[in-house]
């Protein structure tokens, strides 16, 4: 290649520099730091930090995180699919539908801290539902601290998992063509046959894929749990908080790196499975 050719290549690549620098410094380097710091200590390869993941505290947090993510992924995807079906059967450009979708995206992705306060205001010790139930139904919700336990987290997480399912599953439902149903019916199928033989097999990969996405989403969610649970670390994200904020005191320096590595591995594995499932849907969704 001539000298002019090299110069041209540099000129063509140069405008990409700001973007690559931004992503490199603030996304790739932090990720590499997490992975490397989890297995390197003082310049030497060491599995001490990763081995700390097998301690009872970390194992219990992992188990709780898996239960929390698993339960809310299953409940969220089933109820979310039902809600998505209800939305799809409404007129496409109606204000109601737009409002529901906007509300779903806010609750699913931008809620965070606000959702914790929503549930404190509803079923917290002085919450509106708690007060009402005490006065009218005669049972007391507020005396227990269940909202701050795994049960409470499951309830609050379901509140953002269902809307997330609506958003990710809606495109697949909208991809079902009316003609397919007509074709099935004209060949003598009942509505039930159509769902059982055509729609459900077509939607299954998208449904299972969305469930995996919900699992990953709950596993790595931090803000809602952190705002709700101020003491103790029942799940992995809160254990990361504890390790980050008190690592000097407890002498567990670097434990956060191992926990973050664990999180990224779980999320990456789930997302790869998700990608493989969604590829199958994408074939007919286009």
* Contact set for another protein, span 52-81 (CB under 8 A): 79
Least separation, in Å, of the C-beta of 63 and another protein? 18
**Mapping DSSP to helix (H, G, I), strand (E, B) and coil, where does residue 254 land?**
coil
Q: How far apart are CA 247 and CA 244, in angstroms?
A: 6
Among residues 64, 73, 77, 119, the one that binds another protein under rule CB under 8 A: 119
Least separation, in Å, of the C-beta of 56 and another protein? 22
Q: How far apart are CA 190 and CA 196, in angstroms?
A: 10
Q: Which is nearer to another protein, 96 or 183 (CB)?
A: 96
Told to check if 109 binds another protein by CB under 8 A, we report yes
DSSP codes joined into one string, 134-180: HHHT---STTS-GGGSHHHHHHHHHHHHHHHHHHHHHHHHHHS-HHH
Q: Which of residues 224-253 bind another protein (CB under 8 A)?
A: 226-227, 230, 237, 240-241, 244-245
Among residues 46, 57, 105, 252, the one that binds another protein under rule CB under 8 A: 105
Binning the chain into helix, strand and coil, the percentages to the nearest 5 are 80, 0, 15
Q: Which of residues 11-40 bind another protein (CB under 8 A)?
A: 12-13, 15-16, 18-20, 22-23, 25-27, 29-34, 37
Among residues 55, 98, 151, 177, the one that binds another protein under rule CB under 8 A: 98
Q: Which of residues 207-226 bind another protein (CB under 8 A)?
A: 210, 213, 217, 220, 222-223, 226
Q: Which secondary structure element, helix H or strand E, spans residue 44, and what is its range?
A: strand 44-45
Least separation, in Å, of the C-beta of 48 and another protein? 17
Q: Which secondary structure element, helix H or strand E, spans residue 40, and what is its range?
A: strand 40-41
Told to check if 159 binds another protein by CB under 8 A, we report yes
Q: Please tell me what DSSP assigns to residue 118.
A: H
Q: Which is nearer to another protein, 89 or 188 (CB)?
A: 89
Q: How many residues bind another protein (CB under 8 A)?
A: 92
Q: Which is nearer to another protein, 102 or 143 (CB)?
A: 102
Question: Is 189 exposed, middle or buried (CB count within 10 Å of its CB: 0-12, 13-18, 19+)?
Answer: middle
Among residues 113, 137, 183, 185, the one that binds another protein under rule CB under 8 A: 113
Q: Please tell me what DSSP assigns to residue 55.
A: S
Least separation, in Å, of the C-beta of 47 and another protein? 18
DSSP H helical segments within 40-149, as ranges?
48-51, 56-88, 95-105, 113-123, 128-136
């Amino acid at each position: 290649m001539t000298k002019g050719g090299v110069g041209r290549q540099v000129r063509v690549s140069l405008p990409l520099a700001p973007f690559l620098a931004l992503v490199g410094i603030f996304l790739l380097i932090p990720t590499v730091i997490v992975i490397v710091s989890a297995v390197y200590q003082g310049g030497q390869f060491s599995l001490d930090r990763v081995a700390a993941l097998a301690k009872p505290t970390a194992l219990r947090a992992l188990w709780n995180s898996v239960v929390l993510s698993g339960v809310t992924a299953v409940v969220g995807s089933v109820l979310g699919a039902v809600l998505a079906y209800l939305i799809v059967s409404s007129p496409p450009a109606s204000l109601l539908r737009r409002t529901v979708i906007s509300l779903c995206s806010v609750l699913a992705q931008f809620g965070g801290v606000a959702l914790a306060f929503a549930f404190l205001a509803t079923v917290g010790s002085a919450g509106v539902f708690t007060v009402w139930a005490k006065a009218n139904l005669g049972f007391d919700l507020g005396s227990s601290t269940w909202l701050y336990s795994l049960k409470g987290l499951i309830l609050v997480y379901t509140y953002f998992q269902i809307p997330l399912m609506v958003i990710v599953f809606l495109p697949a439902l909208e991809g079902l063509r009316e003609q397919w149903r007509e074709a099935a019916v004209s060949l003598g199928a009942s509505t039930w046959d159509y769902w059982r033989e055509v729609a459900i097999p077509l939607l299954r990969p998208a449904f299972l894929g969305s469930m995996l996405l919900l699992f990953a989403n709950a596993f790595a969610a931090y803000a809602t749990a952190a705002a709700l649970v101020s003491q103790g670390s029942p799940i992995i994200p809160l254990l990361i908080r504890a390790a980050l904020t008190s690592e000097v005191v407890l002498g567990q320096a670097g434990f956060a790196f191992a926990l973050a590595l664990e999180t990224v591995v779980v999320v990456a594995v789930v997302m790869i499975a998700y990608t493989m499932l969604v590829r199958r849907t994408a074939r007919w969704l286009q």
